[in-house]
Amino acid sequence: MKTRIQELRKQRGLSQEGLAEALGVTRQTVISLEKEKYVASLELAFKISRLFELPIEEIFLYKEEK
């Protein structure tokens, strides 16, 4: 799953550590999300959505496999 987390974080001038703190996760989680090595839980996706004030669909770009 593609994400815009790194792009949105940088637009807002947040460090990975700052984003992690705001979300209540580790910096390693943020790194994994940005590198698309980890798919956020539904709860974390909602936290990210609220933090960036964007719908989940504008942060996480889902493409169905055929």
Domain range annotation of the chain: 2-51
Q: Which residues contact 61 (CB under 8 A, 6 or more apart)?
A: 1, 2, 3, 4
Segment 46-64 shows an average pLDDT of 95
40: which 2 tokens?
Answer: 């956020």
Q: Are 19 and 30 in contact (CB under 8 A)?
A: yes
pLDDT of residue 8: 98
2-51 belongs to which homologous superfamily?
Answer: lambda repressor-like DNA-binding domains (1.10.260.40)
Segment 14-33 shows an average pLDDT of 98
pLDDT of residue 62: 86
Question: How far is residue 61's CA from residue 3's CA, in Å, rounded to a whole number?
Answer: 6
